[in-house]
Amino acid sequence: MVQDIPTQEGPVVNHTNGNCLYAHSGGVSAALNATAAGAIKAAQRSESIHDMLVPEYGLHGILNGEFYSTKDLDQAALDQMYCTPSSIFGTSRFKLPDPRVDQEPYIQILEVFKTYNIRSLLYHGGGDSQDTTNKFSQFFKMVDYPIQCIGLPKTIDNDLMVTDHCPGYGSTAKYIATSTLEAALDTKAMSRSSTKVFILEVMGRNAGWIAAASALARCDATSAPHLILVPERKKSADNILAGISLQLDKEGYCVIVVSEGFQLTDTISSDDSDTCSFGHKRLGGIGLELANLIQSSLKVKTRSANADYLQRAVGHCASAIDLDIAYHIGQRAVQCINDGLYDKMLIVKHLGYLPLKWKIETCPIDWVANHEKHLPDFFISDNGHDITPAFCEYALSLVQGEVKPMRKNSIPAYFSKHHLQKVQIEEHQL
């Protein structure tokens, strides 16, 4: 386990501010539970917090008053939680309305908060989730109910504004680079008589941070990936086919990594009716679309794969620095509660690379909510389908170190919900 942020030692002697609610929101990552472990450990030591309650399945659990108590989790359980990917408590995608327009769900939530004596909220998620944190804060101010609202950063997409990177991204970057390397070895070995072009589709709606991480797989100038296609740069089909043909002539095989949000300049816009609760179009399929284009145009065997959920819960390939920072985000969030802060989101600031030097700061939540950080121009090559050395220096610092979870029969033994206790209301009414 990493070293804790210094805090007051000894038993909790005074719980003046009731319970703290810590909730997961949106997609998962390898580092999500590491943040939870840090927050729970700090809350157990805090004089300001009676118990850190965690809802089952995020906002759905809040609406239904379904909470886990964490005050009795021991160090062994927290150590196992630290190495466990995904969200052991469950998460959800749920868009709350503007509290100035519709307060119905907020009234329900307010009654739950009063019932469980919740006086502070740590909401852990990405840009859409921080919009939810902001809405919570606005509503509680409107009804004059004292709640400290703090946002915690999380997204493998690495597209949150202000923070230099998002916990969870480093582990996903490491997995994508590793998978690209291994798939490239397979493709190269079979290229004389079988597949000559391999395409890996990765997540990234409007920002290409995950696809860019595949560049870390390279060991020299000729190594895969040979084309990296990101949403920040559209490309024509002819331009892509020309690049592939050139690579086939040189090396006999070609490996491509493409963000799910990448668009061809000569593709007709598709129907946007299939959207999620936040209004985002459901993506997926650009890898197969490109494979069909290449196979029909160049007459070479082409295969595609979609990393999909495999790139999110990558505990077996987690980055040690990623989990370390995530843990301290949790600890610092509780420190913010102890210090009386509100309407802030925690951010990571980089002070140096290789090894990464960092510190945790705060910014106003509304600087982050509903905003996206794209790959800057200096991280994208002039030809638009590659990544610069500056990006590799940035990303390489985030994938360092190995995480070794407990194992059973050589398979990771992750945290189980049998460690958790459901909350009894009478125990939390002070």
DSSP structure string for 277-309: TTSPBP---HHHHHHHHHHHHH---EEEEE-GG
Angle at 354 between CA 352 and CA 359, to 5 degrees: 40
Dist. CA 171–CA 256, nearest whole Å: 21
d(Cα 326, Cα 315) in Å, to the nearest integer? 14
Give catalytic status of residue 157 as yes or no: yes
| Cα distances (Å, whole numbers) of residue 2 to 29, 164, 324, 357 | 19, 21, 6, 16
**CA R_g for the chain:** 23
Question: 114-146: string of b/e by CB count within 10 Å (b at 16+)?
Answer: eebbbbbbbbbbbbbbbbbbbbbbbbbeeeeee
Take residue 21 and report the two structure tokens written for it.
């609610």
Catalytic one of 51, 128, 131, 157: 157
C-alpha pair distances (Å), 310 with each of 122, 226, 256, 340: 27, 22, 18, 39
Active site amino acids: 157
